[in-house]
Amino acid sequence: MCNPVNKPSWKLLERLGFRREGCLIKNVYFTTDAAGNPVWADTYIYAILATEWSSEGQENPAPLCRY
């Protein structure tokens, strides 16, 4: 999982071969505003299969989507 605002983090995941599988909208909060209301944040969900990880670095990496 990754905060979409943290671009270096999700760019690293993608460079390592992880696939973005979803985006959860306003699913978590860590702070509140001055009135005490939660400040909600989005989350990117990433995944990679063990077989994809072990083939990392090959010329033809696993496709991003198999549908």
Summarize pLDDT for 4-41 with one digit per residue, the tens: 999 999 999 999 999 999 999 999 999 999 999 999 99
* Whether the Cβ atoms of residue 11 and residue 46 lie closer than 8 Å to each other: no
Q: Could you list the residue range(s) of the whole structural domain that residue 19 is in?
A: 7-54
pTM of the model: 0.71
Number of domains within the chain: 1
Position of tokens 């990754």?
2
pLDDT at position 61 is 55
Torsion angle (degrees, nearest 10) of CA 50, 55, 57, 60 = -120
Residue 67 maps to a domain: no
How long, in residues, is the chain?
67
Band (pLDDT 50/70/90 cuts) for residue 52 is confident
Confidence at residue 67, expressed as pLDDT on a 0 to 100 scale: 44
Positive or negative CA dihedral for 9, 22, 49, 58?
Answer: negative
Is residue 34 included in any domain, yes or no?
A: yes
Residue 56 has pLDDT above 90, yes or no: no
CB 58 within 8 A of CB 39: no
